[in-house]
Amino acid sequence: MEYTDKEYCLEIWGDWACFTRPELKVERVSYDVITPSAARAVFEAILFKRYAMRWQVTKIEVLNPIKWTTIRRNEVGAVVNSSMKPIYIDDGKTRQQKNSLLLQDVRYRIYAKLIFIPVKDRPKEAFAKHQPSNDENPMKYYQMFERRALQGQCFTQPYWGCREFAANWKYIDNTDYLEPPLFEDRDLGIMLYDMDFEGNAQKPDAMFYRARMKQGVIVVPSKDSEEVLR
């Protein structure tokens, strides 16, 4: 079986971003930089095969200075329930005015590895619609991702924390001659790492890690690392 431990790179940018801190419930307040879970979601928007592979974010490079802005907007506080009753926006209990502390003019380079899941390690529900061959190998998924990324294809439009903040992206095939990241060191504190969907898909637990930016680079530990707090 041919296997290469290849790391992929995407450059992503946008006008607005909000990587919401989970400890602040009422008003949206963003982290200083993109979270590993949001970076993973960008790769998954290009290629994601449940049970067959997963993405492991390894590094985040901050390219633009960290800038903040605030907006105030009307939001709908209710959701449609199973009875499918309509929501009336003019109802005083439904409309809510909230402030959001957002990031402005963001640009990052994110790196990730495609982790292949062998056929023998996949759960039974993975074979409900398709029975893969036993000689299936990671190169199949490497080529799928590279082909889609080079053509600018994605299954869904990546976004910056909130769906209204669309993210632009491009695939970096050659990382030898790239502009250096932001020349700054910063301790970003405890940051959301990801949700543990593998441990409990219905009610996943949140995972955190201590994020430190050195010369604009944030090294992201692996999921099984002792640095990841559960």
Contact 214, 61 (CB under 8 A): no
8-state DSSP, 204:
P
Q: Spell out a b/e string for 39-72, using b for 16 or more CB atoms within 10 Å of the CB, else e.
A: bbbbbbbbbbbebbbbbbbbbbbbbeebeeeeee
Name the band, by pLDDT with cuts 50, 70 and 90, for residue 158: very high
Name the band, by pLDDT with cuts 50, 70 and 90, for residue 15: very high
pLDDT on residue 1: 45
Non-local CB neighbours of 8 within 8 Å, separated by 6+ positions: 43, 111, 112, 113, 114, 145, 149, 171
Average pLDDT over residues 70-79: 78
- Selection from 2-11, 151-160, 195-204 with the highest mean pLDDT: 151-160
Distance CA 66, CA 77 (A): 30
